[in-house]
Structure formats: C-alpha cells, structure tokens
Structure 1
Amino acid sequence: MGSVLGSWRDSINANRGCHDSRQDVSYTDSLRPHVLSLNNTTSDAGFNLSFEDISVYKTSLKRHILFPASGTMHSGSFVGIMGPSGSGKTTLIKVLAGKVRPSSGAVYVNNQVSSHIVLRSLVAYVPQDDIILPDLTVREAILYSARIRIGGTFNDRHLQQYVDYLIASMGLQSVENHLVGDATGRSIPGGERKRVNIALELAAAPSTLVLDEPTSGLDANAALSVMTLLKRLSEQGLVVVCVIHQPRSEIFALLDRLLLLSDGKQVFLGSASASLNFVTRLGVAPCYKSSNPADTIIDAISNIHQAGFNALTDSDNYQDSIPTGSWVSKSGTERYGDSEGRSSNSGGLPALMQRAQQRRASWHKQAYLACLRGLVQQSRQVSSLALEITTGAITGLLIGLSNFEYKGHLFQGVFLPPLRSLSSATSYRLLAEQGMLCCLAIGCAAGPAGVILFAEDRLVLNREWQSGHSPSAFFLGKTISSIPRMAVSALHFASFYMLLTTPMIDFGQLFINCLLYFYCIYGLGCVVAALVRRQDAPVMAMLISLVFSALSGCAPRLATVNEWKLKWIWIIFPGVWFSEANFNENISPLSSLYDTKTAAETVGYTLNRTSTDLAMLLVIGTVYRIISYIVLVFSSRKNQS
C-alpha cells in the first residue's frame, strides 16, 4: 500500500495556507509501520475485505433486516452504500466492522474467515452520531485514542508527532485546542466535529475505514470536504466504505464502487459509473441527464421496492438488462467488474492480528490513561462540581442548624452504676436520626451527580470497547478519577455539619464515613445510568437514595426489623452501615459514663464494629459498580447478537 503519511504530509502543506502556521514536525522512520496499513509487510499483496451470503435476522421483529449479500472491497477502493431508509445499510457496515454478528454467512479478510473480534481489531468504524466527550479538546481526544490503540508499540513522543500529522491532514489545526463541546453548549462547527469523529478512528492507522453516513447534518460544502478527504485516504491504500444518502453529484463522482440495497436485499455491486446505466436500463425509473445521478438511483430502487423484488430476479427481463462484462451471483445481484469474486490473496491475517494486539496499550496503561482523562474532564465541569459541592454544603448547614440547639448533646442514656439512680429520660433515637439525615443529604448531593458523571460516558464506553479499549480498565480509571470529586463534596458536607452540630465523633472519622457513603451513592449512579434513560436517571437516583435513607435503622428501629425477620433486607443497603458507624463513633466516648450496650440493643445496632461498617460500605459501593459494568457489557453484546 501507499504511505498514508505521504498523503498527510501533502495535505499539511495544503492546509497551512489557511491555518495558523506551526513548527514543522520532523518525520522519523520509526513512525512508518503505523502510518502505513496495519501490516506493511503484506502491503504488496494488499488488504481485501470480502463478505459472502451474510444476513441478519432480528428475533424481536421476527424478520430479516438484511438478506444474504456478497461482495469484495479491494485495497485502495472508495465504496459507497446507498438505498432507501430501512434497507439495511447500517446493519451491513456494522457486520463488516464486527459490531453486529451475522445470522449466516461470513466476512473474510484476505480470503480468510474472520470473527467479529478480528474485524474489530482491523476495521475502524465511524458511527453516524459524533460520539465524542465534550469536555476534551480536539487534540486531547485524538491523542487519547492514539495512546490507547497504538500506544503499546510507540512512545509518547512518537505519538505526539503522529497526532500532529493527523490533525494537520484533517484540517483541524485551527480548532485543535478548542473543546469539542456538545449540542447544549459551545462546540466546534459540524464539519470539524465530523472530521474529529473520523480522526479518532484514523488514530489507529487502520487498513479499512467504515463510516455510517459521514455527511449527515452537514451543509453541502462541508459534506463535499469530508468526502474528498475520504477519497484521498482511499487513494493511499485504505479500504473506505461509507453509507451515503442521496449525495450531490460531486460527491457521487468521487466513488469508485457502489453497493445498492433495497428492503434489506442487495441489488447491485459494481463501479459507480456503471450503476446509473444499470438502473436506467431496468426501465423502472426515467433518467434525466440534468438530474443528480444519486437521485435517479434512489428513485429507481425505491420503485423496485414498491413493485417487489421479483422485478430484479425475473430471469428474462433481468438478463436482458445486464451489459457485457457483468455477472450475476446466485442471489440475483448484478456485479460489474468483479467477476473473480473474493480475492485470491490468502495471506497476512495472522500477522495483521499479531500487529494489532502488539500495538494496543497494556491494561494497566489503559486504566491509567482513563483515570487521567477523567480528571481532565472533571476539572472542566466547573458548574456541575460547584452545584454538587453547594448542595452538600447547604444540606450539611441545614442539618447543623437543626441540631444547633442541642449544643452537641445528641445522646442521653442510663448512667452506669453507682449513678444509675440519677438517670433521667433516655434519648437513643436522636443519634439514629442523625445517620438518616446525613444519608438523605448525601443522597441529594451525590445521586444526580453520580448519574451525570457516568451517563455521559456510556456511549463512549461502548464505542471505545468495540475499538479495543478494555472496558474494565475504562471503568477502573473512571472510578479512581471520581474519588477526588467525592472527597471534595464529602469534605464540604462534613465541615458544615461538624461546625454546627458539634457531635462527639472525630472529624476525620466523620469525613471517612461520608466519603464512603458518597462512594456508594456514586456507585448507585453507575447502575441507574446503565439501566435508565438519561433524562430520567437523575430523578431515579435521588428516589432510590431516599429509600436507602429510610432503611438506615432509625424508623422503624433495626431491633424491630429484626423481630420481623427482615433485617437481611436492611443490611444489603448502605444506609444502615453508615448509621451504625455514626452511632458507634458518637457513643463510644461516652461508654465510661452511660450504659451504651443497652442503648445499642434498643436501637438494634452492634457496638464496636466501625471497621466492619466501613468495609461493608466499600463492598456495597464496589458491588454497585460491578453490576453496572455487567449491565453495560451485556447490553453491548446483546446489540451485536
């Protein structure tokens, strides 16, 4: 294959005329292996992607959404996939990219059957939606992708150079230090955003690039610019396959080959120039020389769809329409210039897979990078963090004000002998109420925040996992990066509560208790974010947090619950463990004066096991994250089945 770097260096010179100048990046030969195709040792043989009789049957709909389709896409070709809405275009390219497993048939790389795992490693997939974290700059997003996907082979200096070339070739120099943003705030323009989406996949230097409607949402000029870029990439040896919907004539002229689908059935596969002649000679739609060729094609296959697919497979009429040099597969698909079927090239797949695995960053490095990225994200979420801290501080302040008149005297028990006769009315419940109120306050502050923190990464996790990022490393890094945020919020809550309530508990112990309960509620946010729609998730997390607070052992008392034989329900939630730890640490300094054992038995808590309480909070918060992880992995695999 030709050198992708060569094209990028040419495009740098072209782009420097319209972008700010920057210091030139010297080219090093050590970069060559990953700016060529995935396997430059087999570049002479080329990289070919073939598929034979692949179909997809959707069980929930009880019908095929893609009927058996076959074809070959050669190295250096720019292939467009067209068809009416619902014709199976996206399903087809997801099968080619290993995102969806076919119900039948097989996909081949260099004439060797390839599983979906192999395809994920070798084929880069650019989704229609621009799934990019909004709190990163353009450069940070691309550099992160490069570090994850080829960081196992190249050091950071080489990766920085590589990203410099990539940004320049994509025409992103003017926005490389701008935040990507999202629809709710300031963001880079749509055309640049689409280029960033493509650059995230090009960061892996793939041999095949598959795109789902890369021009959607773009104006005519931006769409043409993106497609011209893709054409240039294909000319450097990449296989570029994209779904397009009624492109303008200039875009249509860029295509080398065209695959047409109608109602899930493959209609045509051949050169783009021959496709117009094919559909007009079928007699199903008129061809006007002044019209957009893509419009003519869509009209033709839409009419076929309305009349029934038999119009294409009728042997008499169909064979008459076939020009010299074409051939028909057993499925009735017309193909031009593809009479040899799959490529005879049968080498290189083991080497390709070995290189892909070697280039990927190690697990611990992926976790480290995910943690750093999470910290960067949160450092830029100033308003969200400020709201969480303010909520925690205000709730701590309000609880403290409600307790201010007690002057720190939150417990009144029975004196130990010989002072027992001097005991007045007991007050055991007030400390239990303090635990419940703290649970309520932390739930209000951390519930919605935990959901927002993890919900924004749900789609990103799915994309990155299917591109080679370890989901467990992603999750661990994200969890570790959220600890400073939890600590800051817990510190503000504990400070205001301690200042006005003046409880007997040590401030350090109170802070640890609150931090671990924040950890549990953030874990709850992970689960809710994985199961509930994003717009409903914050409210749902807060409601569940209220339930946790009610199950803290205050009302009904844990002793009463134990009499009902239902204590096992209470102890699987974090509220009771937080309240017990809070009760223990407030009552233990008074154990030489009061009968604390009787007080604990009355409420239902167990004395002298604060370490166990804290350990249980840590375990419960971790279990919530494991549940969230399993749900996300299961849902992603379900989408591929």
Structure 2
Amino acid sequence: METPMADVEAQFSSSIFNKVDRSVKLKFQEVVYTVDIKNQGCFKNESIKKQILKGVTGMVYPGEMLAMLGPSGSGKTTLLTALGGRLGGKVGGTITYNGKPFSSIMKRNTGFVTQDDVLYPHLTVTETLVFTALLRLPTTLTTQEKITKAEDVIEQLGLTSCKTSIIGGPLLRGVSGGERKRVSIGQEMLINPSLLLLDEPTSGLDSTTAQKIVSMLWDLARGGRTVVMTIHQPSSRLFYMFHKVLLLSEGNTLFFGKGSEVMDYFRRVGYSPSVAMNPSDFLLDLANGISSDDSSQEDQNEVKEKLVTAYKSNLAENLKAEMLEVEEHFNDVSDQKKSDRWSTSWLQQFSILLRRGLKERRHESFDVLKIAQVVIISLLCGLLWWQSDTAHIQDQSGLLFFYTGFWGFFPLFQAIFTFPQEREMLAKERSSGMYRLSSYFMSRTVGDLPMELVLPTVFCIITYWMGGLKPDVTSFFYALFTLLLSVLVSQGLGLALGALVMDLKSATVLGSVIMLSFTLAGGYYVQNVPAFISWIKYVSISLYTYKLLIGSQYEKDQTYQCGNQTCLVAEYPAIKSIGLDGQLISLVALVIMMVLYRVIAYLALMRIGVPKK
C-alpha cells in the first residue's frame, strides 16, 4: 500500500529538499551517437551503422526540470545515459557541466536513477538505504551520522511505514512500485546531487503515484538542483510541471523550450490538435508523424521531415545563440577542493559489502535443500563403501575419484550463478563510483566461503570414516585439505565462466563440457590416453585432486592382499597410471589454478559498469 507523501512545504524545509552547495548548468550541443548493428544476411553477417542521436542540442539551468519526450526508440534513454557519462562508445558533439567536461568529481555529484529499480530483493528499505549511505557518503561523517542521514531520507520520502519491509521482486512480495521507485531516488538523494538524471521515473505507476514522484522531483529542482528525466506519456497535470521539454523523434529534435510554450509553437508551424487533448498525447502523435487520424505511412514520414525542418528554421539557431550568450557564472563542481576518488577506504568498502552480501543471501546461506542434498549423498556413499579396506582397493580408489567428481561439479555450478545474477547491480553501482571492483570481488568471494567449505567438510567427515579410509588423523586432514582446495579451484572456474559469459544457460553448458573433459582425463576412466589428446590432463582439476587424494591414503611401499599373494599398492594399475609421487607438483598446480581462475573472473568483471571511451 502506498504511503501518503507529506505536505510539500514541510518537505521543502527538510534536508534533501534544501538548496545544494554546488549548482550545475548542463549544456549539450550537437550530440551525435552511432552504433553498429549486426545484420544477418542470407550469406554473410553485415554490420550496419545506425545513428541513434542526430545532433541534439539543449541547456538546463539549476532549479529547472527538463522532460525528454518521444516514442520508444526515439533516443531519450540514450541521450540521458550520455548526459550521465555512462554511455559506452564514441559520443559526438559537446556535453559540458558548467562549461567543463564530465569528470570523476562530477560523477560524485550526479544522481542517476535507472528505469528498472535495481535493488536487492531480500534487503529491507532501511538496510538498502543505510548500506548505500555507508558506501557513498564520505569518511568525514561517522557511521552513526551516515545512518541518521539514511533515516532522514526514509522519513522525508514517506517511507517510514514500510522501512522494515523487504524490497521484494517478481517472485517475492515486498513494497509497492511507488515505494520501490522512491527507494531508488532516495539512494541518489543521499549524496545530495547537483545533477539528478532519471529514466522513466513514472513507468508502471498509477497517475496518483506518478504525481507524487514528479511533485517530489519538482521540489528537488526548486532546491537548486538540475533535474533531467525521460518520460513516455505524462498526464496533463504532470506535463505543465516541467520547466522545459525536449521532444525527440528517431534521434531528431522536434522541439526544445519551455513546456508552457510548446502548444503555441506547433500551432504556429501549422499543427494543432483537432480536439482538446493531453499535450503529451499530441506531442507523441507528432513525434510518430501523425497529424490527423487518416495519416498514411508516407504522410507520417513527410510530417516528421517537416517538423525537423521547422525546428531547424525556427528554434535551432536561436537556441545556439542563447547558449553562446550565457556566461558560466555558476559554482563549478570541479573547482571544489579535489577529494579522493572514493568516498570510503578499501577496507571499509570490503567490510560494508561483505555485511550487505551476507544479509542479502542470508535466506540461502543455510539452504535446507542444499544441506539435505549433501548429507543424503554423504550417507549413501558411506553405506555403499561401508568399511572398505585395502583388500578392496578398486572400491577405495572409486570413492576417492567420486570425491573429485562430485566436488568438481557442485561448487562449479553454485559459482556460475554468482556474477550473472548481480550484473545489473554491479553495473549500476560501479557506474556511480560507489566502490572499487576489487573490494566487491573480494567481499563476494569471501562471503561465499562459509557454505562452500562447510558442506564439503561435512561430506568428508561422514564418508571418510564410514567408508573405511585410512584411520589416521594426518591422512584425514590431508584428504580434507585436498578436497577443500579442489572446491576452491572449481569455484574459481565457475566464477570465471560466469563472469566471462554472463549468460546462465551458456555458462552452464560450457561448465559441464569443461568439467566432464577434466573428469574423463582424471586418470580413473582412461589410463592410456593417446598422446595427441593427453595435454588435457595437465589442466585437469580432477587429475591433480585425485593424485593428492591417492597420496593421502597410500604409500609407495604399502602392500595389499591380491588373491593368495601380497602386492604393492603402487603397482595396482589404477594407481600406477597416476603415480604416488609428484604430490607437491599437484598441490602447486591446484593453487595456481585457484588464483588464475579468480584473476580471469576479476578481469572479465572490469568491463562491467565502466563506459568505454
């Protein structure tokens, strides 16, 4: 249920609606953006260049709210992303903030609210805003002061009644859509931004809730902020709240100016609504080339061309002249005393992200099904291999190889899901400069360690002693250490695959193929591997793990009863092909792979959330 917003004047007196210390005048001139689109033809793939923005120009002052209108595909979100310094690729034209280009300091003073509310579903409203405050607010504030600011934002945005409710998601009941949107805005308002950019802030909301959101944004602009938003089809009462309007059609500008003057402008160039209607509906019709109910497709293209020509003839030159005349007299964000790139230290980021991750994943940390799966398999293995001894060396070696197989696949598939599921969140927070990638990566990896290591430990304790493996404490811990190291290596491989592919289906298939290849080359199924494919065993996690497990149980001079005679364990075919020597080499190989896979995962994540210039 929606929480009613407080009185406008009362809100205006509160801190997030107060005037900002640094005002930003945003200017964008002849902004052009082109992308390469792959066109799959009959015989070959061709790359076609498509121009998304075609020389868009405009200017927004502090205290103003600019609404960018246009049909889907008109370039609204692309332009907004470019204004926020988040657009990858080559952006043509000029975008300045108080006359200077986008910088890391400007990034720290820019709030960007995406169309989709990218929030952790299992965190409460309070937890979401408190963790954001701890990460984004500077170290000059104490932890308690940051928490107090988050609580103030909760109160000022009318979220008090739902502050203990979880955010929720598509399959998890949580707060309403309007409350979720206010949480997203609240995350950006914590930093008291000079420039606030919002992509479709009223999307999916009813008219009353949309009115509350836009009224709040109007108050924020009144406090001296520069507010820019994309909006698809606002109601008439929302439309007249916008100080300026930018109308786009297929990347072309059809109008830029005061919202109160837009209808008069189109009347002057020969386009008026035939009946009384919402101005935004009329503008969207024009942007689609519809000037009357019987407009044909050919007429629509003609209407668009006429409107583009009319804009260039009537408004474009005047706008350029106005932009040249305006003096850069606003306080420059870049002129403020240069601060560190990050609001908090690496250790603080790591600690906060670790706590946030554990809270978000607390519902799955001790997942009953996952624990039951491991315990049941452990007991089944213990019963099947009940008190086997060296007289049944084939069975024992089979149990040891099962260790490598089960604990190769299990952590692999758990880890594959890690980064694809958090891609949107990582992109959002990295692009806003919230934390270092290294602190996120380490906190995410360390946060998963408890369950990654506890379950195989339980498995090893049950199966080792039930299965009748070598009843020696040293041998047990040797086997346990080997198993845990193998788990960390498999987890690293899963992290790398997930980060590289970022598609769960493709990463899962690729992981299955790789791990099955490692298992087949592990030295248990095939002992005489042809030379031309034997290289696989040198990169096989299974081989090195199996070799260490064999070494934990048997020694070179150890014997076993084979029929009526005594034979050397080292001469048993399944063990001879693996060998009891080279334990240190196997250990070093696994450690190298553990580190290497994580380095690959880290490098793959570096491309997320940072625009390519």
What TM-score do you get using the length of structure 1 for normalisation? 0.82
> Counterparts in 2 of 1:123-138, with a 5 A limit?
123-138=110-125
2:586 counterpart of 1:617: no
Match of 1:3? none
Match of 2:45? none
Distance in 2, matches of 1:338 and 1:410, equals: 91
2:600 counterpart of 1:627: yes
Kindly state the Cα deviation for residue 11 of structure 1 after the two structures are TM-superposed. 6.7
2:73 counterpart of 1:107: no
Of residues 478, 483, 487, the one that matches 1:509 is: 478
Distance in 2, matches of 1:571 and 1:12, equals: 71
Distance in 1, matches of 2:557 and 2:8, equals: 76
2:345 counterpart of 1:362: yes
Kindly state the Cα deviation for residue 605 of structure 1 after the two structures are TM-superposed. 3.1
| Residues 293, 312 of structure 1: alpha-carbon distance in 2 compared, 3 angstrom cutoff | closer
| Residues 287, 617 of structure 1: alpha-carbon distance in 2 compared, 3 angstrom cutoff | farther
Distance in 2, matches of 1:435 and 1:12, equals: 72
Kindly state the Cα deviation for residue 299 of structure 1 after the two structures are TM-superposed. 1.0
- Specify the SS of the correspondent of 1:627: helix
CA contact (8 A) 1:270 1:338 kept: no
Match of 1:303? 289
2:522 counterpart of 1:572: no
Match of 2:503? 533
CA contact (8 A) 1:271 1:336 kept: no
| Residues 35, 494 of structure 1: alpha-carbon distance in 2 compared, 3 angstrom cutoff | farther
CA contact (8 A) 2:27 2:59 kept: yes
- Specify the SS of the correspondent of 1:62: strand
Kindly state the Cα deviation for residue 337 of structure 1 after the two structures are TM-superposed. 11
2:518 counterpart of 1:548: yes
Match of 1:392? 374
2:364 counterpart of 1:377: no
Q: Which runs of 5+ in 2 are unaligned?
A: 38-47, 291-299, 561-566
| Residues 309, 444 of structure 1: alpha-carbon distance in 2 compared, 3 angstrom cutoff | same
Distance in 2, matches of 1:12 and 1:568, equals: 74
Kindly state the Cα deviation for residue 274 of structure 1 after the two structures are TM-superposed. 1.1
- Percentage of matched positions with identical amino acids: 24
How large is the RMSD of aligned CA atoms in angstroms? Answer: 3.2
Distance in 2, matches of 1:409 and 1:434, equals: 12
2:462 counterpart of 1:496: yes
Distance in 2, matches of 1:602 and 1:251, equals: 77
| Residues 71, 288 of structure 1: alpha-carbon distance in 2 compared, 3 angstrom cutoff | same
CA contact (8 A) 1:170 1:199 kept: yes
Distance in 1, matches of 2:338 and 2:578, equals: 58
CA contact (8 A) 2:62 2:226 kept: yes
| Residues 604, 53 of structure 1: alpha-carbon distance in 2 compared, 3 angstrom cutoff | farther
Distance in 2, matches of 1:57 and 1:204, equals: 33
Kindly state the Cα deviation for residue 353 of structure 1 after the two structures are TM-superposed. 7.6
Aligned pair count reads 577
| Residues 202, 432 of structure 1: alpha-carbon distance in 2 compared, 3 angstrom cutoff | farther
The amino acid across from 2:189 in the alignment is L
CA contact (8 A) 2:248 2:255 kept: yes
2:408 counterpart of 1:434: no
Kindly state the Cα deviation for residue 165 of structure 1 after the two structures are TM-superposed. 0.8
- Specify the SS of the correspondent of 1:476: helix
| Residues 199, 550 of structure 1: alpha-carbon distance in 2 compared, 3 angstrom cutoff | farther
Of residues 185, 192, 196, the one that matches 2:179 is: 192
Of residues 136, 140, 144, the one that matches 1:153 is: 140
Kindly state the Cα deviation for residue 214 of structure 1 after the two structures are TM-superposed. 1.0
CA contact (8 A) 1:447 1:538 kept: no
Kindly state the Cα deviation for residue 410 of structure 1 after the two structures are TM-superposed. 4.7
Match of 2:441? 475
Kindly provide the CA deviation profile for residues 274-317 of structure 1, in whole angstroms up to 9, marking residues without a partner as x: 1222223332452533x1111011112221763264313547x9
Match of 1:22? none
- Specify the SS of the correspondent of 2:57: strand
Distance in 2, matches of 1:379 and 1:443, equals: 24
Q: Which runs of 5+ in 1 are unaligned?
A: 1-7, 16-26, 413-426
Kindly provide the CA deviation profile for residues 534-583 of structure 1, in whole angstroms up to 9, marking residues without a partner as x: 356556545544443333221212xx33x616443222232212111111
The amino acid across from 1:553 in the alignment is G
- Specify the SS of the correspondent of 1:270: strand
Kindly provide the CA deviation profile for residues 107-147 of structure 1, in whole angstroms up to 9, marking residues without a partner as x: 211111225x5553332211111111112111111122221
The amino acid across from 1:370 in the alignment is L
Per mean C-alpha deviation after superposition, the further-off stretch among 241-250 and 224-233 is 224-233
Distance in 2, matches of 1:402 and 1:157, equals: 57
Of residues 48, 53, 57, the one that matches 1:70 is: 57
- Specify the SS of the correspondent of 2:123: coil
| Residues 390, 572 of structure 1: alpha-carbon distance in 2 compared, 3 angstrom cutoff | same
> Counterparts in 2 of 1:4-43, with a 5 A limit?
37=20, 40=21, 43=22
Distance in 2, matches of 1:90 and 1:640, equals: 17
Kindly provide the CA deviation profile for residues 308-346 of structure 1, in whole angstroms up to 9, marking residues without a partner as x: 64313547x975xx4xxxx423xxxx7599565665237
Match of 2:388? 408
| Residues 501, 630 of structure 1: alpha-carbon distance in 2 compared, 3 angstrom cutoff | same
CA contact (8 A) 2:254 2:308 kept: no
Distance in 2, matches of 1:298 and 1:110, equals: 32
